[in-house]
Amino acid sequence: MTSGKLLRQLIVSGADGDLAAFRAAADDVIADERQKQHHLLANDLESILYGRTLAPTSPGLRRLAQAVPEDRERGLALLSLREPVRGMEDVVLSSSNRTIVRAVLHEQNREELLQAHGLRPVDRLLLCGPPGCGKTLTAEVIANELGRPLAIVRVDSVVSSFLGETAANLRRVFDFIETTPTVAVFDEFDALGKERDDSSEHGELRRVVNAVLQMLDAYDGRSLIVAATNHQSMLDSAVWRRFEEILYLRLPTATQIRELLRVKLRGVRRAFDIDTVAVESLFPNSTHADVERVLRRAVKEMVLSGEGRLGLNHIRGAVRREKARRQPGRI
């Protein structure tokens, strides 16, 4: 099937509102791009298609989406369901963090064996680190490896201005994830687990933290809970004891940046050897997300310029644009 026919099929199904046909056509487009060795574009399209809120097509998934609890006062969904796409080969972790993730996956996959001996697999993880260092990606990888949907807890919906409603929303979230196998991500967890001794905070927040701690203590559900925070120093001291494993995700080292380049540039023809690139000078103090954004820009520039190979000149140009983005008015 030619690209023109694929695009026509995609547009027709979208215009008709046929979600199943649209997703099938989009999958065909992604496969076509991957066959042409346009792997970065294929990965980007895949993340757009599957990395957003689920539009379920099967009756089972549709029922799952309809069962998502809502805030009673505002009618807002308390969780956002996503279909995980990226696997272990798509994430760059330190050796210690990769070991922890593999151990968690192993325990989850051998749950019945552990239960037969009166044991439970690890079901609560805490991910700490600055923005852009792969916390949500790590949760997505875990969900993908376990074959479960990713359930992002929407903190903006959970936290309510109505007295007592925040704790009630949390109860609804926990009731849902206890009975529905997911990887449940509590992003910006410091908003729910902030230090109770902070004199600037009011009594309602302290009650919310108490409720979170009690629900974590009583949790005996079917989901794997992943709490993520950019501000671990703000967490209440009692929070740490509720999590069986803690991952610290930091800025990538030079070795990890090279691994990121290999992962993100799979299938992209290059005019340079990754092992000889002085990545420290190209990506100083960069997060995983910074590196990925620069590479995406560099590949776009290569494509638009009509050049057949990605060169360091494309990457350097993308780095200059990244610096300008961080410091408006400077190139």
> Rounded distance, CA 272 to CA 286, Å?
21
Give 111-129 pLDDT, tens digit per residue.
999 999 999 999 999 999 9
> Rounded distance, CA 208 to CA 211, Å?
5
Give 132-190 pLDDT, tens digit per residue.
999 999 999 999 999 999 999 988 888 876 657 888 899 999 999 999 999 999 998 98
> Rounded distance, CA 183 to CA 78, Å?
15
Place of tokens 């046909």: 21
> Residue 225: beta bridge partners?
124, 184
Query: What three-state secondary structure class fits 57?
Result: coil
Q: Residue 58: is its pLDDT beyond 90?
A: no
- CB distance 159 to 166 below 8 Å: yes
Q: Residue 95: is its pLDDT beyond 90?
A: yes
Q: What's the CATH architecture for 67-248? A: 3-Layer(aba) Sandwich (3.40)
pLDDT at 54: 45
> Rounded distance, CA 307 to CA 326, Å?
28
> Which of the residue ranges 67-81, 101-115, 245-259, 309-323 would you say has the lowest mean pLDDT?
67-81
> Rounded distance, CA 102 to CA 64, Å?
28
> Who's near 268: CB < 8 A, 6+ residues apart?
37, 39, 40, 299, 310
Crossing angle of the two packed helices 39-50 and 19-35, in degrees rounded to 10:
160
Go through 256-273 and write b for each residue having 16 or more CB atoms within 10 A of its CB, e for each that does not.
bbbbbbebbbeebebeee
pLDDT at 52: 47
End-to-end CA distance of the chain: 44
Q: Could you give the percent of the chain with pLDDT greater than 90? A: 47
Domain boundaries along the sequence of the chain: 1-56, 67-248, 254-326
> Which of the residue ranges 138-142, 198-202, 291-295 would you say has the lowest mean pLDDT?
198-202
pLDDT at 16: 61
Residue type (1 letter), 117? H
Q: Residue 191: is its pLDDT beyond 70?
A: yes
- Residue 202 Cα distances to 118, 156, 197, 207, 209, angstroms: 41, 18, 10, 9, 11
Burial of 30 (0-12, 13-18, 19+ CB in 10 A): buried
Q: Residue 213: is its pLDDT beyond 70?
A: yes
- DSSP alpha helix (H) spans, the chain: 3-16, 19-35, 39-50, 59-66, 95-109, 111-116, 135-146, 155-158, 165-179, 203-218, 254-264, 279-282, 288-305, 312-326
Considering only residues 254 and 83, tell me which one the structure prediction assigns the higher pLDDT.
Answer: 254
Give 269-278 pLDDT, tens digit per residue.
899 999 988 8
> Who's near 6: CB < 8 A, 6+ residues apart?
25, 28, 29, 32
- CB distance 141 to 51 below 8 Å: no
- CB distance 170 to 212 below 8 Å: yes
> Rounded distance, CA 12 to CA 14, Å?
5
> Rounded distance, CA 308 to CA 263, Å?
19
> Who's near 17: CB < 8 A, 6+ residues apart?
none
**CATH level 3 topology of 254-326:** Helicase, Ruva Protein; domain 3 (1.10.8)
